[in-house]
Structure 1
Amino acid sequence: MNISQEKKDALNATLKISLSPADYQPQVDKAIKEQAKKAQLPGFRKGMVPAGHIKKMYGKSILVDEINTLLSDKLNKYIEDEKLEVLGQPLPKLDDEKEYNWDFNDEFEFVYELGLAPEFAVEFSSKDKLTQYVIKVDAETLASREKNIRRAYGKMTNPDVSAEDDVLYSDLVQLSPDGSVFEGGISNTTSVRLDQIKNEDVKKSLIGLKKGDVVTIDLQKAFENDAAKVAGLLKIEEDEAAELKSNFQLTVKNVNRLDEADLNQEFFDKLFGEGVVTTEEGFREKITEELETMMQQDSERKLQNDIYNYTLDKVQFELPDEFLKRWLKATNEKLSDEELEGGYADFAKNLKWTLIANKIVVDNQIDIKYDEVFAYAKQSLNNQFRMYSQQSLTDEQLAQYTVQYLQNKENANKIFEEVKAVRVFDYIKSVITLDKKEILFTDFNKLED
């Protein structure tokens, strides 16, 4: 057997593997004998089928299988021994001019294309600067949060006349183009929340209504062609809602209003526990603190995204793009040329980040221990459980779930990669200069990612 490598350039190479009968015959003979022991053929007792008979009937398929296994083993070993950093997997290069008899005497020659990882350096210092935003609660956001909390603990009333934030419990009936009721058309009894209506003119037409009032409403205009919202109100499919052109007759059955809870001690105790908050000022300080804690997570996501883009701009290198495109096509049979071209830029961007992150881990000897992976997985699972249940799991129960979760190799790899990403971001943050800047939440939301 002979394996030779030829470098086409820094990112592309070919491997040529030459096989003679002496290289593959022992494995083929062994496989034929094992098959003979297991075979159940008419006219022969189990385990007594002659090897020659198996070779005559199944020899070529066994030969193909054994050569494929041999090639895979030798190819992987060569890559490992030569410490080649390959991207994707080796691709067999077809040669239409070569034909083999597969008669156990052929001299075989197989050629594989390799995509090689580029060589590059990652060098960060205090000269690299990024902004780390410290988000502060603005008056509008604080007032909105206060209102939502007070309404959540408020009482439902039924005023005579509708106001801006009320809910109209109504009958909706489809109308014909001439304004008459469309017989056999769409109808539904539902709650129309005025605070969700996006068009101000439509919203104004629904303010000041009382029980029994009838108005005409253009739902597409009201919700600015939000098919999901229209479909939900009418209990129809989104596709149907997107195509809907009709106006609807809205008949008010009831006006519902959620009055805000009073800012008193009973309300404060329900929210924060007995005696924790005793004044309106303390209440607003508490919800400001909670909001800014949540906003800190938004700031961290923004910083990570900025680090990601800054790093990709700073660390420049090429990829074996044409090879990678062929590899993606070979490993995804349903991938069209249009999908490949449309998605390749994002694929290449993520691959570059992976290569950079791996180099940071190796160069800086970042060691990710199982305890870190376990703790991260445990916290992630706890967050998921809390989203769906008010009842907390005990630490022992959570640990058991975590062990079971990580026994799945795919889950374990996913969590490991997430921990690695966190460690890489932490390393970069520890080296570069982060200029802290206070910003109001409303202004932060206007920033581009």
Structure 2
Amino acid sequence: MNISHQKIDDISAKITVDLTPEDYNPAVDKAIKDQAKKAKLPGFRPGLVPTGHIRRTYGKAILLDEINRVVNEKISAYITEEKLEVLGQPLPVDNEEDNKYNWDFKDTFNFNYEIGLAPIFDVPFSAETEFTEYDIKADEATLVERTKNLRRSYGKMTNPEVSEEGDVLYATLKQEKEDGIEKTTSVRTDVIEDAKIKKSLVGLKKDDTVKIDIKKAFKVADIARILGITEEEAENLDVTKFELSVQNINRLEEADLNQEFFDKLFPEGEVTTEEQFNEKVKEEVENLFKQNSAQKLRNDMYTFGMEKVEAKFPEDFLKRWLQATNPNLSAEEIEEGFADFLNNLKWTIIENRIVTANNLEVKYDEVVDLAKERIYGQIKMYNINEEPTDEQLGQFAMQLLSDREQANRLFEEVKALKVFDHLKTTVKTKSKKIDYDKFEKLDNK
């Protein structure tokens, strides 16, 4: 067997494979013998079908399969040996001589494949590159909102006689037209967008009525939910004036700042005063902000890398490869998502070159630990008091990683984190304190 490659230009090449009978027949003979042992054919005892019969009946199909397998294995090994940075997978080049083969186990085959090559460029991160790492401080408004949410989580529902802003009204909404929509449902006053309408729902009692323009009061998605209709139907309402009749008033009273409340949130006796509670809330919030800061730094590094690297890709080849590997996608769909695909590919190449140049390694235990971390976060999100054991988290992690797609996603996430951690040791970072409200505006620029 002879394999060679020839560069067409800097980002594409052709691989040629010459295959003689001596290269493929041993594999074909073995496959035929294995098939004979497994075959169950009329007139033959199981496992005793003559290899000659298998060769005559299925020989060409087996020959084709084995040649494909041998060629693919050899090309893969060749790419590794030659250290070719290939994009996608090799695509066979149509050859008029392919139709002249006899497929009689004596042919000498010549196959040609087109490959796309990763563009050559330098990774732009160095000790001279500088980024800002934000030390985000919790502003008073954020702490007040977090405290309110915690108190509401452990508060109790009451039914006051008179409505206030933020209450939930259990009410009947009736469209002002004959045979119009009539629906008894819960109406959250805190999501109302129109200030005048919101004010009109304050001070109401049971059986009071008020007229509202539902399109001014709510977003389309909220209208659909409240009236039990589709968003399209909500968008196309011909009459938007409704009469709202109060059936009941629901109010979520915030929990008192007392020991019972503190012990629900923290280990018993750890927090005993309002001052300690406020410090805990601040600590929790600012720990969350550290994640926001890290994400901002990652985003800034990504943006810097993408802007600094100018690279040309074998676009025609990549589109044909995408079509070959995704036959259900139309040419229009591939074209529509191609710019995003190239961006992802460009950053993947940058990441992989950082990984290779610095011998970074993703270990299985690290992927398992990340899976546990993600699962723990989900459990705490839905049940703040539940504390899963490490054994339980391990079982959940194994279930998650049994899904190949999820396992690959977590592997790539660990790799991305390793690259980020490495870059932080390579570039310069300057720390800057900033309040959360200002950081939010900065992040949205």
Same fold (TM over 0.5): yes
Q: Which residue of 2 aligns with 1:143?
A: 144
Taking the aligned partners of 2:438 and 2:265, their CA distance within structure 1 comes to 29
> 1:212 Cα deviation (Å)?
0.9
> 1:155 Cα deviation (Å)?
4.5
> 1:8 Cα deviation (Å)?
0.3
Taking the aligned partners of 1:405 and 1:130, their CA distance within structure 2 comes to 36
Q: Which residue of 2 aligns with 1:99?
A: 99
Match status 1:220 vs 2:215: yes
Q: Which amino acid aligns with 1:66?
A: E
Match status 1:69 vs 2:69: yes
| Alignment deviations for residues 228-279 of structure 1 (CA, whole Å, 9 cap, x no partner) | x223222334444344343333211122333444555665565555472424
Q: Which residue of 1 aligns with 2:80?
A: 80
Among candidates 245, 248, 251, match of residue 254 of structure 1: 248
Q: Which residue of 2 aligns with 1:211?
A: 206
| Alignment deviations for residues 361-414 of structure 1 (CA, whole Å, 9 cap, x no partner) | 222233444443343333233223333444322233334444565566655444
Among candidates 405, 428, 431, match of residue 423 of structure 2: 428
> 1:56 Cα deviation (Å)?
3.6
State the SS of the aligned residue for 1:99: helix
Among candidates 222, 229, 234, match of residue 241 of structure 1: 234
> 1:30 Cα deviation (Å)?
4.2
Q: Which amino acid aligns with 2:322?
A: L
With 310-319 and 396-405 compared, the bigger mean Cα shift is at 396-405
Taking the aligned partners of 1:297 and 1:274, their CA distance within structure 2 comes to 29
With 95-104 and 251-260 compared, the bigger mean Cα shift is at 95-104
Q: Which residue of 2 aligns with 1:121?
A: 122
Match status 1:198 vs 2:217: no
Q: Which residue of 2 aligns with 1:293?
A: 287
What is the RMSD of the two structures over their aligned residues, measured on CA atoms?
A: 2.9
Structure 1 316/101 Cα, relative in aligned 2: closer, same or farther at 3 Å?
closer
> 1:37 Cα deviation (Å)?
4.5
Q: Which amino acid aligns with 2:297?
A: L
| Alignment deviations for residues 316-354 of structure 1 (CA, whole Å, 9 cap, x no partner) | 333322222211111001112222122122222222222
With 35-44 and 132-141 compared, the bigger mean Cα shift is at 35-44
Q: Which amino acid aligns with 2:250?
A: N
Taking the aligned partners of 2:269 and 2:44, their CA distance within structure 1 comes to 87
Among candidates 163, 179, 182, match of residue 187 of structure 1: 182
Q: Which amino acid aligns with 1:59?
A: G
| Alignment deviations for residues 114-156 of structure 1 (CA, whole Å, 9 cap, x no partner) | 1122333325334212222222223332333333334444444
Q: Indicate conservation of the 8 Å contact 1:170/1:189, yes or no.
A: yes
Q: Which amino acid aligns with 1:385?
A: I
State the SS of the aligned residue for 1:84: coil
Q: Which amino acid aligns with 2:8?
A: K
Q: Which residue of 1 aligns with 2:109?
A: 108
Q: Which residue of 2 aligns with 1:419?
A: 414
Q: Indicate conservation of the 8 Å contact 2:4/2:15, yes or no.
A: yes
Q: Which residue of 1 aligns with 2:322?
A: 328
Taking the aligned partners of 2:66 and 2:355, their CA distance within structure 1 comes to 39
State the SS of the aligned residue for 1:417: helix
> 1:34 Cα deviation (Å)?
4.2
Q: Which residue of 2 aligns with 1:18?
A: 18
Q: Which residue of 2 aligns with 1:377?
A: 371
Q: Indicate conservation of the 8 Å contact 2:173/2:244, yes or no.
A: yes
> 1:66 Cα deviation (Å)?
2.3
Q: Indicate conservation of the 8 Å contact 1:12/1:115, yes or no.
A: yes
Structure 1 59/168 Cα, relative in aligned 2: closer, same or farther at 3 Å?
same
With 406-415 and 85-94 compared, the bigger mean Cα shift is at 406-415
Q: Indicate conservation of the 8 Å contact 1:63/1:102, yes or no.
A: no
| Alignment deviations for residues 26-67 of structure 1 (CA, whole Å, 9 cap, x no partner) | 443444444445444444454555544444433332222222
Q: Indicate conservation of the 8 Å contact 2:124/2:308, yes or no.
A: no
Q: Which amino acid aligns with 1:224?
A: K
Q: Indicate conservation of the 8 Å contact 2:271/2:277, yes or no.
A: no
Taking the aligned partners of 2:289 and 2:203, their CA distance within structure 1 comes to 37
Q: Which residue of 2 aligns with 1:232?
A: 225
Q: Which residue of 1 aligns with 2:89?
A: 89
Structure 1 251/126 Cα, relative in aligned 2: closer, same or farther at 3 Å?
same
| Alignment deviations for residues 90-124 of structure 1 (CA, whole Å, 9 cap, x no partner) | 11111356523534144432110111223333253
Q: Indicate conservation of the 8 Å contact 1:100/1:106, yes or no.
A: no
Q: Which residue of 1 aligns with 2:28?
A: 28
Taking the aligned partners of 1:360 and 1:65, their CA distance within structure 2 comes to 38
Structure 1 397/49 Cα, relative in aligned 2: closer, same or farther at 3 Å?
closer
Q: Indicate conservation of the 8 Å contact 1:24/1:66, yes or no.
A: yes
Which blocks of at least 5 consecutive residues in structure 1 are unaligned?
Answer: none
Q: Which amino acid aligns with 1:352?
A: K
| Alignment deviations for residues 69-88 of structure 1 (CA, whole Å, 9 cap, x no partner) | 22222222222232222111
Structure 1 37/282 Cα, relative in aligned 2: closer, same or farther at 3 Å?
closer
Q: Which residue of 2 aligns with 1:398?
A: 393
With 62-71 and 386-395 compared, the bigger mean Cα shift is at 386-395
Q: Indicate conservation of the 8 Å contact 1:211/1:252, yes or no.
A: yes
Structure 1 46/134 Cα, relative in aligned 2: closer, same or farther at 3 Å?
closer
Q: Which residue of 2 aligns with 1:131?
A: 132
Q: Which amino acid aligns with 2:185?
A: T
Structure 1 181/84 Cα, relative in aligned 2: closer, same or farther at 3 Å?
same
State the SS of the aligned residue for 2:249: strand
Q: Which residue of 1 aligns with 2:342?
A: 348
Match status 1:358 vs 2:359: no
Q: Indicate conservation of the 8 Å contact 2:211/2:243, yes or no.
A: yes
| Alignment deviations for residues 198-246 of structure 1 (CA, whole Å, 9 cap, x no partner) | 2223212322322112233333321232x2x223222334444344343
Structure 1 276/94 Cα, relative in aligned 2: closer, same or farther at 3 Å?
same
> 1:311 Cα deviation (Å)?
1.9
Give aligned pairs, total.
Answer: 440
